[in-house]
Structure 1
Amino acid sequence: MDRFQRLTPLLKSFMEKGPAGCACTVVKNGEVLYEESFGYADLANHKKIGADTIYRIYSMSKVVTCAAALMLYEKGLYLLNDPVEAYLPEFKDISVYSYNELGSRTVASASGSIRIKDLFTMSSGLTYGGELTETERQTRTLMQNAVSTMDMRALSKALATVPLAFEPGTHWKYGTSHDVLAALIEVLSGESFGEFLRKEIFEPLQMVDTSFRIAEEKRDRLCLMYDRAEDGKLTLNTNMDAPYQPGCSYESGGGGLLSTIGDYSRFAQALARGGELAGARILSPKTIQLMGTNHLGPQQLKDFNWTQMSGYGYGLGVRVMMDPAAGGINGSIGEFGWAGLAGSWVLIDPLEQLSVVYMQQMLPSLEPYIHPRMRAVIYGALK
């Protein structure tokens, strides 16, 4: 029996716990080792997931954004240690919140600039919206109407007005850094972010169904999103699709792309094979090696303490496997990738020239349960 067929009962067991459907593709050295889909893209109408199903990949967009930015790095248009303000002047006079031992909050000018590297590594002090800090609360308010009113340059300028959560480069905090990176790409390339991706990545890699908008003729291929209750009951979620509609100018580098499993597998396999696929090269092997190297210091690694990230550091926009023993991981040191809000996941292993792409559409995603189990089975199947 093909050892990769162990994935089939595992994927079917995931659906018992949550997603209406899922799909997985494993490619090594350009050869498809496993390619299956199960369940439904539309539960009510019993419409099955297929090879052409389109998914909201959310934060898996970040890997594409960082690859795109590194393409401009390879052209010498910036250096990683350059201050962001040299290209995005809105970040010239940034401020930062600080708290004393009693929790009293003050705001002052930041002691240093945000470096472009800090955008890649989520060490800028920018956050997502939330409740824990004043930066998160202000960002939440700012983002409430961003999708309907802003493009990426406008978003960058708005984010620059919010005091940072910490001094740049001192901590790790998941946030809007890669949205600002998209604005940087626009300034350096002279094109909209979506147009740059189309010309430089999607067309060369033949990613024909990857975009920020859902075209009318493809709308029936979009997988439905479901909310999962504690008892496992699924409820249709239609509240998060505004960014994908025609006319929207919001092209989030942090989470805005739609893609198919085949398209994203081509992108992932290109990175796994040193930046080239079928004659199209998007990055060099050395730059991918830099991308997949841990860039966090000791304090930042303490901040990067998500349950499913044991054994990992963080590179230029990707988790990076560093310590197999700490994570209980049977994979390669240097394996990298990321996941999306609704449970999509990519694994890229240059040592094995291996790429894995998994797709589902469910909130919460059960990521800490699903993804490590897939990784264990896949590496266990390699010869």
Structure 2
Amino acid sequence: MKGVSELEAALDRRALLSLGLCAGLGSLLPSLVRAAELPELMPHVRAVIEKWVGPGKFPGLVASLGLPGQEAQFIARGSDGFTDLDPMTPDTLFRIYSMTKPVTGMAAMQLISQGKMGLDQPLYEILPQYRHMKVQDTYDGSITALHPAPRPITIRQLLTHTSGLGYSIIQQGPIAELMAAKGLTAGRVTRLPVPGIFRSQAVEGLDVFADRLAEVPLVYDPGTKWSYSLGLDLMGRVIEVVSGQPFDIYLQENIFTPTGMDDTSFQVAPADAGRLATNYGVLEGIFVPIDEGATSIYLEKPAFPFGGAGLVSSPRDYDRFLRMLAQLGEIDGKRVLTEEAVRLGTSNLLPPGVAGPSMMGPASGFGAGGRVGLGEEAGIFGWAGAAGTVAMVDIVHGIRSQIFAQFMPPTALNLLPEFQTALKADVMALLQRR
């Protein structure tokens, strides 16, 4: 099918990393808290949203900016799809893909803060099948020329993509074929028969996924390099074993319900299908629907809850997650995470000597499932999704921002860079008027 390579690029490392860099605002935020009385927080962002919504552009978009202790200001324009004319709102449902990773990461930090597992605990103490891992002698090379891993995988490494585990959306050659054969897919996109998207049917069951992943060679020695991976998907199984609860139930009872995230889940209920935005593939500037709300693949139960890319959420719901982090684990008088868990999870957890993602932007650290700003960007934590969603929180100053779209690949159009520029302009304007 024409355009398959473009769609497959939706999950390309460059696309995801460039989106991850959009999650930081650098040093422009520090005094924004003093601008809270201004009624219009995002005139530049509003202009970008209005520019990009309309015929031949996006059917609808949502953006938000939240100040400390306040409800976010939302900008929503357009409809849920070109043929789905329901107005797009802060309660529209979106496939957030890799924005699932910080949620899974913070669930792990919750268990770490409770003393139920350790940040530097060897993974094999929880999942014994990972005790004797083998590593490719050559990255993406032979799957028979291997050497023993010189050290065990740790929980820290799973959280920060430094475990050496591969990723079915990244790897090439024999190891990619092996992962596909074992059903080690990263998530789901569409019911359409588009070859190359996630490359295989996912294996049934998180326990089986974990067992089969243990049979695949690592692509790097653990703790030596940042490499986008299935680490947060495997973390879902770790959370199951440590907590004694199914992963999705654990998230519901310990993160979503206490945070007030009523619209976040791994499956969309039939009654909510009308609120699910259409996801589009963008091929040579043309929007092609690949997953419509009324018939979405997300109406089906997933093969297992994908801790790295499986959640559907709304802008309002995900803002509550960000606000909870911005308020150091507390929201509406309820404590969801300890302050220590939030501060540690949003700090640079990379092993000593390992550099974080640096493509198309400044070098950064990495925390519990999300990019961590360094230097002038210290305190910024966030990540992005493969269908055009980006979210960040400034832990130091208590501010958070988001944009929600549904298109793949997210680098096909210039929306997200324009949003980042507009957001910085709005912050600068607020600072000048304080």
Q: How does 1:323-334 map to 2 (within 5 A)?
A: 323-324=375-376, 332-334=377-379
Quick check: 1:21 aligned with 2:60?
A: yes
- Taking a change above 3 Å as real, the CA distance of residues 114 and 104 of structure 1, as seen in their structure-2 partners, is closer
Work out whether 1:42 is the aligned partner of 2:90: no
Give the structure 2 partner of residue 106 of structure 1: 145
1:209 maps onto 2:263 in alignment: yes
Give, in whole Å, the separation in 2 of the partners of 1:299 and 1:103. 27
Query: 2:412 aligned with 1:372, yes or no?
Result: no
Deviation at 1:267, TM superposition (A): 0.7
Please say if 1:68 is aligned against 2:121: no
Instruction: Tell me the TM-score normalised to structure 2 length.
Output: 0.79
Specify whether residues 134 and 370 from structure 1 end up closer, same or farther in structure 2 by C-alpha distance, changes over 3 A only: farther
CA RMSD, Structure 1 to Structure 2 (Å) = 2.6
- 1:62-121, Cα deviation, whole Å (9 max, x unpaired): 011011111110110111111000001121121110139x99972122111101100001
Paired residue for 1:349, among 370, 380, 394? 394
Q: Which residue of structure 2 lines up, in the alignment, with residue 327 of structure 1?
A: none
CA distance in 2, matches of 1:312, 1:228: 29
Indicate yes or no: 2:373 matched with 1:321: yes
Contact 1:28/1:355 (CA < 8 Å) preserved in 2?
A: yes
Stretch deviating more after TM superposition (244-253 or 332-341) = 244-253
Matched, 1:234 2:324: no
Are the structure 2 counterparts of residues 249 and 134 from structure 1 closer, same or farther at C-alpha, using a change threshold of 3 Å?
Answer: closer
Cα distance in structure 1, aligned partners of 2:96 and 2:127? 27
Q: Distance in 1 between matches of 2:217 and 2:204?
A: 20
Instruction: State the AA in 1 paired with 2:357.
Output: F
Distance 2:144 2:203 in 1: 31
Residue pairs, 1:177-326, within 5 angstroms: 177-230=231-284, 232-238=285-291, 244-296=298-350, 300-301=354-355, 304-307=357-360, 309-324=361-376
Give, in angstroms, the shift of residue 4 of structure 1.
Answer: 2.0
- Cα pair distance change 1:248/1:293, threshold 3 Å: closer
Q: State whether residues 120 and 155 of structure 2, in contact with CA within 8 Å, keep that contact through their aligned partners in structure 1.
A: yes
- Offset of 1:378 from its aligned partner? 4.5
Letter in 1 for 2:153: I
Which residue among 87, 97, 113 is the counterpart of 2:126?
87
Stretch moving more, 208-217 or 278-287 = 278-287
Task: Give the Cα separation in 2 of the matches to 1:104 and 1:258.
Answer: 35
Q: Secondary structure of 2:212's partner?
A: helix
Mapped to 2, the partners of 1:150 and 1:317 lie a distance apart of 24
Cα distance in 2, alignment partners of residues 133 and 165 from structure 1: 12
Q: How many angstroms apart in 2 are the aligned matches of 1:93 and 1:249? A: 27
SS at match of 1:62: helix
Aligned to 1:6: 44
Task: State the TM-score, normalizing by the size of structure 1.
Answer: 0.89
- Distance, in Å, in 1 between the alignment partners of 2:351 and 2:126 is 26
* SS of 1:235 mapped into structure 2: strand
Q: How many Å apart are 1:368 and its aligned residue?
A: 6.0
**Cα pair distance change 1:186/1:298, threshold 3 Å:** closer
Counterpart of 1:204 in 2: which secondary structure?
helix
Question: Counterpart of 1:52?
Answer: 91
Q: Matches of 2:142 and 2:239 in 1, distance apart?
A: 38
Identify which range, 105-114 or 347-356, moves more after superposition.
Answer: 105-114
Q: Which amino acid aligns with 1:293?
A: S
- The alignment covers a number of residue pairs equal to 372
- AA aligned to 1:135 is I
Residue equivalent to 1:77 = 116
Contact 1:25–1:32 (CA under 8 A) maintained in structure 2: no
Paired with 2:299 and 2:41, the residues of 1 have a C-alpha distance of 42
Mapped pair 1:150 → 2:204 = yes
Deviations 1:284-338 (A, max 9, x none): 222222122223368632x62222x4242212211111134xxxxxxx5211110
The equivalent position to 1:132 in structure 2, one of 168, 172, 178, is 172
Say which structure is richer in strand.
Answer: 1
Secondary structure of residue in 1 paired with 2:77:
strand
Preserved CA contact (<8 Å) 2:346 2:381: yes
2-structure distance, mates of 1:167, 1:368: 34
Secondary structure of the 2:42 match is helix
- Pair 382,290 (structure 1): closer, same or farther in 2 beyond 3 Å: farther
CA distance in 2, matches of 1:242, 1:45: 13
Task: Provide the rounded CA distance (Å) in 2 between the counterparts of 1:377 and 1:250.
Answer: 41
Please say if residues 127 and 238 of structure 2, whose CA atoms lie closer than 8 Å, have aligned partners that are also in contact.
yes
Change (3 A) 1:3 1:199: closer
**Distance in 1 of aligned mates of 2:123 and 2:237:** 11
Question: Deviation of residue 27 (structure 1)?
Answer: 1.2
Q: Distance in 1 between matches of 2:311 and 2:159?
A: 18
Give the 3 Å change call, closer, same or farther, for CA 203–339 of structure 1 in structure 2: same
CA distance in 2, matches of 1:247, 1:154: 16
Structure 1 residue runs of 5 or longer lacking an equivalent are 325-331
